[in-house]
Structure 1
Amino acid sequence: MDEKEFEILWEEIRKIDRNMADLFDERVELTRRTALSKIEANIPVYDAKGEEKNVEELSALLQKMSNRFRFIRWYHLLTEPGKMARKEFRQGEKE
Structure 2
Amino acid sequence: MPPPPDIKVPGDRVGVVAELVAGPGTFVRGPFVYASTTGAVTVAPGDPLPTVSVQRAGQQAAIPSVGVTVIAKVSRVTPRAAMADIVCVGAHAVTDKFSGIV
Provide the TM-score with structure 1 as the length reference: 0.23
More relative contact order in 1 or in 2 (CA 8 Å, sep 6+)?
1
* Larger of the two Rg values belongs to structure: 1
* Structure with the bigger percentage of strand: 2
* Structure with the bigger percentage of helix: 1
